[in-house]
Amino acid sequence: MTSPDNSQPQTGFDQLLSFTIPDRDCRGRAVRLGPVLDTILGAHDYPPAIKLVLSEAIVLAALMGGLLKEAGDQLTIQAQSQGGVIGLLVCDYRDGELRGYVQHDPAEFDRLGSDPTLPELFGEGHLAITFDIAKTGQRYQGVVPLEGESLTEAVQAYFAQSEQVPTLIRTAIKSGAAGNIAGGMLVQHLPEGEEGRERLHTRLDHPEWEHVSILAESLQRDEIIDPDLSLETLIWRLYHDEREIRVEQGVGLSRGCRCTTLHFEEVLSRFPKEDRREMANEDGIILVDCEFCSKQFAIQD
């Protein structure tokens, strides 16, 4: 691989980068979030530890969403708690749009230290990852225990158990007064040929995969969130000895809450008139809150 052509636009904040290593039968995605992340986190006054775990989930949604092939396809991550201070974490990706929110118990959270563990946040929870395919209307979902030290480890377990695809993910988050930065890289081994072919004889100890994953593990946290380091340069640092690496800039990313008055009117229209009457206030208005964007919509019954 030749060094990145700095005369061409380089991938920085809020854009996906795709890459493949044909000789190793591997593919990858990389992302670094900035302003989009600030917008999503700014919808609620989250404690620092909640911001970190939601930031990690949004990065994971971007990386996995970047694997989707067709317009309208959607990736959803949902983490539910049993005995933790977080009741529900939801984020999703569709057509370059990201959104996410966390429901948590502020009183219980205050009893934790400044750096709570994943079990303290989620208890004995589980992680559900759902792919909705627009063209066919099919839905694929995998559910794994919420185990390990991070959401990243839980997602890697999902790929190992549900997809049976060797996958390595690196993420990093930096939160401060100047803004939030979160990024990550995902690499996968697709044996038996190019991306898109049937995956057979998957081996976690395949020598080609071992080579790629060992290099990916050397990626440093500071490199992932360095705003002066383009994603092309990051990939080049790791794999510059490869004969060929194909790099392609992906879609730009945005906060994409899809709530509208029309959407909520359509949802409420499915309820019986008696139920809608009970939901309405004395002025005949049904107030609907959107957790994703922290807005309230007034719907006339």
Question: Are residues 97 and 211 located together in one domain of the fold?
Answer: yes
Q: pLDDT tens digit string along 182-226?
A: 999 999 998 654 444 444 445 556 778 999 999 999 999 999 999
Question: Are residues 78 and 172 located together in one domain of the fold?
Answer: yes
Crossing angle for the helix pair 151-158 and 48-65, nearest 10 degrees?
30
CA distances from 218 to 34, 168, 185 (A): 23, 12, 12
Confidence class for position 143, pLDDT limits 50, 70, 90: very high
Q: pLDDT tens digit string along 244-266?
A: 999 999 899 999 877 777 767 77
pLDDT tops 80 at residue 180: yes
The count of structural domains within the chain is: 2
Q: Tell me the mean pLDDT in the region 101-118.
A: 82
Residue 133: CA count within 13 A, CB half-sphere: 9
pTM (predicted TM-score): 0.87
pLDDT tops 50 at residue 277: yes
What per-residue confidence (pLDDT) applies to 5? Answer: 62
pLDDT tops 70 at residue 2: no
Specify if 210 maps to a domain.
Answer: yes
Q: pLDDT tens digit string along 226-237?
A: 999 999 999 999
Question: Are residues 209 and 291 located together in one domain of the fold?
Answer: no
What per-residue confidence (pLDDT) applies to 196? Answer: 42
Question: Are residues 61 and 206 located together in one domain of the fold?
Answer: yes
Q: Tell me the mean pLDDT in the region 284-297.
A: 76
Specify if 6 maps to a domain.
Answer: no
Question: Are residues 83 and 200 located together in one domain of the fold?
Answer: yes
Question: Are residues 240 and 281 located together in one domain of the fold?
Answer: no
Average pLDDT, the chain: 86
Percent over 90 (pLDDT), the chain: 52
Specify if 199 maps to a domain.
Answer: yes
What is the 3 state secondary structure string of 172-203?
EEEEECCEEEEEEEEEEECCCCCCCCCCCCCC
Question: Are residues 282 and 206 located together in one domain of the fold?
Answer: no
Instruction: Locate all alpha helices (DSSP H) within the chain, ordered by sequence.
Output: 35-41, 48-65, 106-109, 118-122, 151-158, 207-217, 221-224, 231-239, 261-268, 273-279
Task: Say if CB 208 and CB 26 are below 8 A apart.
Answer: yes
CATH number of the domain residue 144 falls in = 3.55.30.10
Specify if 193 maps to a domain.
Answer: yes
Question: Are residues 285 and 167 located together in one domain of the fold?
Answer: no
More confident residue, 288 or 152: 152
Q: Tell me the mean pLDDT in the region 2-19.
A: 79
- Euclidean distance between CA atoms 186 and 171, whole angstroms: 9
Range of the domain at 157: 15-255
Question: Are residues 175 and 28 located together in one domain of the fold?
Answer: yes
Task: Say if CB 288 and CB 296 are below 8 A apart.
Answer: yes
Question: Are residues 234 and 119 located together in one domain of the fold?
Answer: yes
Specify if 3 maps to a domain.
Answer: no
Confidence class for position 284, pLDDT limits 50, 70, 90: confident
Going by C-alpha positions, the residue among 70, 90, 38, 49 that lies closest to residue 253 is 38
Question: Are residues 85 and 165 located together in one domain of the fold?
Answer: yes
- Euclidean distance between CA atoms 198 and 129, whole angstroms: 21
Please return the burial class of 137, using the count of CB atoms within 10 Å of its CB with bins 0-12, 13-18 and 19+. Answer: exposed
Specify if 10 maps to a domain.
Answer: no
Specify if 277 maps to a domain.
Answer: yes
What per-residue confidence (pLDDT) applies to 203? Answer: 54
Q: Tell me the mean pLDDT in the region 137-157.
A: 91
What per-residue confidence (pLDDT) applies to 268? Answer: 78
Specify if 179 maps to a domain.
Answer: yes
Question: Are residues 206 and 150 located together in one domain of the fold?
Answer: yes
Q: pLDDT tens digit string along 15-29?
A: 999 999 999 999 999
The 10 Å Cβ neighbour count of residue 109 is: 18
